[in-house]
């Protein structure tokens, strides 16, 4: 049930901007099952924790990635690179998996793709998410 003020209370927070009370509920249940939090409604009752606590910001993103099976895109990219055109006909080389993920997250728009590419390379090289698989 949507309550008054829920839109603002459950606005986009965390690394992937988790939105809507329903997703806060599902993220809580997922995190509880993983043993990351103690209650299955923690993020619903403490939505600002996703903004104020780096661990929870990351966990909300992990939930989103798992929910949307985005790991398979990241793990199966085989290093494929594509040329894409960004602002003012500037061409850059982008990992094809990153391009697919960006389109899924942003509704087919390739917003901030150069920054995402730089972060994507760092994350893959450092194996940031290895503990969450």
CB 23 within 8 A of CB 46: no
Whole-angstrom CA distances from 22 to 27, 28, 29, 72, 100 are 9, 10, 11, 24, 25
59: number of Cβ within 10 Å: 25
Q: Which two tokens stand for residue 43?
A: 């993020």
The model's pLDDT over 14-69, given as tens digits with 9 standing for 90+, comes to 887 888 898 899 889 988 988 889 999 999 999 999 999 888 888 888 887 777 65
Cα-based torsion angle of the residue sequence 38, 43, 49, 51 in order, rounded to the nearest 10 degrees: 140
* pLDDT at 19 (0 to 100): 87
Of the candidates 95, 61, 93, the residue with the CA atom closest to the CA atom of residue 75: 95
The model's pLDDT over 96-107, given as tens digits with 9 standing for 90+, comes to 777 777 777 777
Domain ranges of the chain: 6-67, 70-132
Check residue 89 and report its DSSP letter: G
């Amino acid at each position: 049930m949507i309550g008054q003020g829920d839109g603002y209370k459950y606005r986009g927070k965390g690394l992937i901007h988790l939105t809507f009370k329903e997703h806060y509920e599902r993220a809580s249940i997922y995190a509880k099952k993983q043993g990351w939090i103690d209650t299955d409604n923690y993020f619903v009752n403490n939505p600002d924790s996703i903004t104020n606590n780096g661990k929870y910001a990351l966990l909300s993103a992990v939930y989103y990635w798992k929910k949307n099976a985005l790991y398979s895109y990241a793990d199966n990219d085989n290093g494929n690179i594509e040329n894409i055109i960004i602002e003012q006909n500037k061409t850059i080389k982008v990992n094809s998996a990153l391009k697919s993920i960006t389109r899924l997250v942003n509704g087919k728009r390739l917003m901030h793709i150069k920054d995402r590419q730089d972060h994507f390379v760092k994350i893959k090289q450092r194996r940031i998410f290895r503990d969450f698989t």
